[in-house]
Structure 1
């Protein structure tokens, strides 16, 4: 059976640099009827576990370590036995939320994770934070971008560990080079496509300055 993508929206808060905001997060589940990976265990481990429906969870992949994307990861790992995977450049952010519990494994640029016979290729896409990654699934025609690229532009870069020129480089060199019909599944809000976003790169650069 081919892998499919299931989508869950969870609600909670995002806190950084002394501020807290209400947010809704996209949780993506990639797999078949037997096994799956979760991309960004946000806010509600019980709801995510219910959406898995008894499938074997092979990994909890963190696109980055802002608290709204990782707050439920340890709980989900405890429920399922799945390892939590994070790019090591985001360990300082991770430790702000989970100082007593480190991730179980590291993500690296070019690494390939396989679930239900489908490859998820890790792309290091820093800028929103230092260890941000995207996950490209060519066979599914999609890329999971976390908070690096949204419908309408780049993720925010106004807080600690972020940098606007770096996120522009990541989007231009790592994401906009993907096929135009690639569906962009984001950390918040609606999906888009590479072809929809690519023509606006220069506008974002001008807006950022």
Structure 2
């Protein structure tokens, strides 16, 4: 039996380049009745811990290290004993929020994270940040896209360490090659599908952001 996906929305702030904004983040919990992983421990470690409902937390997987996606990660790790996993290319962003604590493990392109008998493959998708990753779970018909792809277009690339041509390449080569019915579970806002977003790639490029 495949793992199930639970969804939690937490609220807080995102800060970078001298600005701070209020944000709502999607937190995804993937697992069964016994164990789970958390995709992006955002803002509220206590609420995420409650949502686990007694399940063993096997890992906290960070899609990238903007502070709104990792601010609750150390506290959740301390409460559960779970390791925090992050692509090393985002370590400089992590250190801005957590200068005295390193992630517990590194994510790499092609790495497989298995939970409740379900495989999630790490896709390195730089652009929004250098170490941004997505997690593809074909058995669940979904990809957890972090801030790489949203309903309506790519993630933002107007701040430090981001690059628009790079995120377009990541989306074209790593995400739009997935089956059209793949559900895209995003870091903020509503879910979408690969088939819904793929026809708009040229328009995004023309807009240039």
Quick check: TM above 0.5?
Answer: yes
Secondary structure of the structure 2 residue equivalent to 1:199: helix
Q: How far 1:2 moved relative to its partner? A: 2.8
C-alpha distance in 1, partners of 2:150/2:167?
12
Q: Does 1:98 align with 2:103?
A: no
TM-score by length of 1: 0.99
Residue 51 of structure 1 deviates from its aligned partner by 0.1
Query: Secondary structure, in 3 states, of the residue corresponding to 1:174?
Result: helix
1:112-151 mapped onto 2 (5 Å cutoff): 112-151=112-151
Partner residue of 1:67? Answer: 67
2:57 paired with 1:57: yes
Q: Deviations over 1:128-175 (max 9, x none)?
A: 000000000000000000000000000000000000000000000000
How many residues were matched structurally? 209
Q: CA RMSD in A?
A: 0.6
- Aligned residue for 1:120, secondary structure, equals strand
Alpha-carbon distance between aligned partners in 1 of 2:26 and 2:19, rounded to the nearest angstrom? 21
Tell me how far apart the structure 2 counterparts of residues 133 and 139 of structure 1 sit (CA, whole Å): 19
Distance in 2 (CA, whole Å) between partners of 1:26 and 1:208 is 26
> 1:87 aligns to what?
87
Q: Name 2:111's counterpart in structure 1.
A: 111
Return 5+ residue gaps in structure 2 as ranges: none
State the secondary structure of the residue aligned to 2:145.
Answer: strand
CA distances 1:17-62 after superposition (whole Å, capped 9, x unpaired): 0000000000000000000000000000000000000000000000
